Amino acid sequence: MHQTLLLCLALMLAVTLLVMVGQRLRIPVPIFLVLSGLAVSLVPGIPPIEVDPELIFLIFLPPLLYEAAWFMSWKEFWRWRRIIVVLAFGLVLFTSFAVAYVSSAVIPGFTLALGFLLGGIISPPDAVAATSVLKEVNISKAAISILEGESLVNDAASLVVFRFALAAVLSGSFAWQVASVDFLLVTIMGIVVGLAVGGVFYAIHRWMPTTTRISILLTFIAPYIMYMTAEEFKVSGVMAVVSGGLFLSNQSHVILNHSSRIQGTGMWATVVFALNGLVFILIGLELPVIINGLEGYSKTEAVLFALLITAVVIVTRMVFTVSSSYFTQFIGKYITVAQRNPGWRGPFIIGWAGMRGVVSLASALSVPLALQNGTPFPHRNLILFITFVVILVTLVFQGLTLPLVIRWINPKDLDVRIPEDEQETRIRLKLLKVALAYLHENYAKESSTNELVENLKNRMESDLHQTKRHLDSLESDGDNVTKYNEIVTDIINVKREELHRLRSVQEFDDEVIRKEEAQMDLEEEKLITRFVKRIVFDR
């Protein structure tokens, strides 16, 4: 027990230090952690670390999927729903077919059922890998929404393919009709279970006397209940977590107060940081165990097979995504689509961003050691090795080259958007108008007799005037915005220095000082985000 605890603490410390180094080197965190784990695993004397697939599926996967679903924009998800569904289900099946037929034709003794098993394992891009790497590159909001939506949903399709292919290998028979019906049933019922469990948690949040800490704890418990309930009924736990997470996220303004939202964001950021780090470093540390189990094949043969299958996975995705662009142009003549002429550049980037990750590794590790008759599972170690190489190449090679590809392709956004700072100003203007109208209509008497209410009205009217002028400046002159950002940053720094001086003043409590400091931190972070978004938009 003590050794296990020490190992966990050592891994967490290693993740923390490696993330800092990776940020200094400007290498995406998942890529750097995988490479670091790979390097550490090759050091003589390091004990082999075997990853339990149940640990990944039960401990890591629910909160990671839930967090991704929580921060996924339902508006964006619904807007790009058709392409997301096509990629999440159609591309998974297309990739599984391609991998199945190529692997069974090339690898000696590899049956078609084993090929579909391998295809189900390596077909889905990983939600964690995609969101982590995409944060480090300048890519359009539409492309990010499509990739995040795809990576949230495609795990369900791939795990169903994996489940039926595994059953075919174990039993020696496979019925397409039964598998197709079960595929739909498992997916749809997974969504139903997720919404049902989400409804229960909605009721608890809404009508039970919760506190901020209780609300945050409930959001942490929810994904595990969704996943385990769905798996207990033999339906998709992934779809349950995603659908339940999207539902509760869409109702967060109702079920959570402002304190729960602010503190919950910090909690989830820390949890996801830790889980992401552990997952990716464990992928790298798993290599020696996989290589040592590679029996019956020379390393050269295994590498060649793995690289061939990796090429099939990459090329299949590229062909599918670019072809879907032309299909969208055709079908857009008959039905309403989000973008009638997406071109080839955006789909090319979406295709190149198909990085594999933890779900593929966990699926491969969950392949049983033996068949029902007790004989060893055929080609299990080769399947593990191919999966590891696919993860390594797609994550490291495609992840590192993605910024270069984006600069080379120079894709146009799939839709034209107003810069975020201008959107925020317009929203604030509308909110001020509504608030002032409500104040005049319902509290006209108090506005003239109550000094505090009168001051509130005057302040809101002043804010309304200043916001109008700010919006005019944003719409007219980008240079003014840049200078404004510089001045506000300088003012924040001056205020922060004064606040630091006030810490030594006896009349001010530290708690009040910290609150004011947090407010300035939020203001500065918001300013930096606006500045970066405007640069990206202007490009």
pLDDT under 50: residue ranges of the chain: 532-539
Does residue 180 come out as left (phi exceeding 0), alpha (psi in the -120 to 50 range) or beta?
alpha
Residue 378 shares a structural domain with residue 524 = no
Residue 372 shares a structural domain with residue 498 = no
Residue 20 shares a structural domain with residue 110 = yes
The answer to whether the beta carbons of residues 243 and 198 sit under 8 Å apart is: yes
Q: Is 205 helix (H, G, I), strand (E, B) or coil?
A: helix
Q: What are phi and psi of 373, to 5 degrees?
A: -85, 5
Distance CA 379, CA 294 (A): 9
Q: Which of 452, 476, 500 is the last residue of a domain?
A: 476
User: Per the structure, how many domains does the chain have?
Assistant: 3
Q: Which of 460, 476, 492 is the last residue of a domain?
A: 476
Distance from the first to the final alpha carbon of the chain: 54
Distance CA 201, CA 219 (A): 8
User: Is residue 175 in a domain?
Assistant: no
Residue 162 shares a structural domain with residue 268 = yes
Residue 529 shares a structural domain with residue 511 = yes
For residue 350, give every residue at least 6 positions away whose Cβ sits within 8 Å of its Cβ, in sequence order, or none: 87, 143, 146, 147, 321
What's residue 311's pLDDT? 94
Residue 386, number of CB atoms within 10 A of its CB: 28
Distance CA 431, CA 263 (A): 25
Residue 504 DSSP label: T
CATH code of the domain covering residue 146: 1.20.1530.20
User: Is residue 323 in a domain?
Assistant: yes
Distance CA 443, CA 450 (A): 10
Closest CA to 37 of 59, 62, 15: 15
**Amino acid identity of 97?**
F
User: Is residue 234 in a domain?
Assistant: no
The tokens for 464 are 């309304």
Distance CA 387, CA 356 (A): 9
Dihedral angle computed from the Cα positions of residues 64, 67, 70 and 72, in that order, rounded to the nearest 10 degrees: -70
What's residue 537's pLDDT? 41
Domain that holds residue 450: 426-476
User: Is residue 217 in a domain?
Assistant: no
Residue 468 shares a structural domain with residue 334 = no
Closest CA to 166 of 425, 369, 316: 369
The tokens for 513 are 């000082």
User: Is residue 417 in a domain?
Assistant: no
- The number of residues in the chain equals 539
Residue 72 DSSP label: S
User: Is residue 246 in a domain?
Assistant: no
What's residue 196's pLDDT? 96
Residue 376 shares a structural domain with residue 261 = yes
Q: Which of 476, 502, 517 is the last residue of a domain?
A: 476
Residue 457 shares a structural domain with residue 531 = no
What's residue 511's pLDDT? 62
Q: Widest CA span of the chain, in angstroms?
A: 90
Residue 488 shares a structural domain with residue 529 = yes
The answer to whether the beta carbons of residues 480 and 434 sit under 8 Å apart is: no
CA distances from 384 to 199, 257, 295, 302 (A): 39, 46, 12, 11
The tokens for 234 are 């033999």
Map tokens 């967060």 to a residue.
252
Residue 300 shares a structural domain with residue 344 = yes
Residue 235 DSSP label: S
Residue 361 shares a structural domain with residue 281 = yes
Q: What are phi and psi of 109, to 5 degrees?
A: 80, 5
Q: Is 377 helix (H, G, I), strand (E, B) or coil?
A: coil
Residue 495 shares a structural domain with residue 435 = no
User: Is residue 194 in a domain?
Assistant: no
User: Is residue 226 in a domain?
Assistant: no
Instruction: List residues bridging with 370 in a β-sheet.
Output: 376
